[in-house]
Amino acid sequence: MKKVKITVMKIACYSDLMEKYENPIQHACDMRMGQVFIANGWERPKGFCGSAWDTVSPFVMALSHGAGNFYDGWMKDPKSAMISCNDGFRPVSFLLEAMDEDAE
């Protein structure tokens, strides 16, 4: 099984939607731009958001087992996927990349 590199590529924040619809919360997300996690199959990397993991984990699992070319050529690199978490107020975009067997 291959490891999968997960990189935080973009963090959005929709303050207009938060103001209108969200109950105030003090701490919502720990992700930082450029942050990298290494997933080992179905195991959620330490420090990775549980809610975001629910969204990205099916793609991580597929990539770790050699799948790719999602949605018939959607990504330039067929061994990757760009997936965003399901937070409608502050979505985070993650680049998922299958790693070579000997890469760390």
**N- to C-terminal Cα separation, the chain:** 13
pLDDT at 95 over 80: yes
Would 103 be classed as within a structural domain? no
pLDDT tens-digit profile of 31-84? 999 999 999 988 999 999 999 999 999 999 999 999 999 999 899 999 999 999
Residue 104 is assigned to a structural domain of this protein: no
Model-level pTM greater than 0.75?
yes
pLDDT for 28 equals 82
Q: Are 49 and 30 in contact (CB under 8 A)?
A: yes
What confidence score (pLDDT) does residue 62 get?
96
Q: Does residue 58 contact residue 96 with C-beta atoms inside 8 Å?
A: no
In 3D, which of 4, 92, 16 has the Cα closest to residue 49? 92
Residue 26 lies in a domain: yes
Question: Does residue 44 fall inside a structural domain?
Answer: yes
Number of domains in the chain: 1
pLDDT at 59: 96
Residue 69 lies in a domain: yes
- 104 pLDDT higher than 60: no
pLDDT at 101 > cutoff 90: no
Average pLDDT for 26-33: 88
pLDDT of res. 27: 80
Print the domain residue range for 15.
3-98
Could you tell me if residue 19 is inside a domain? yes
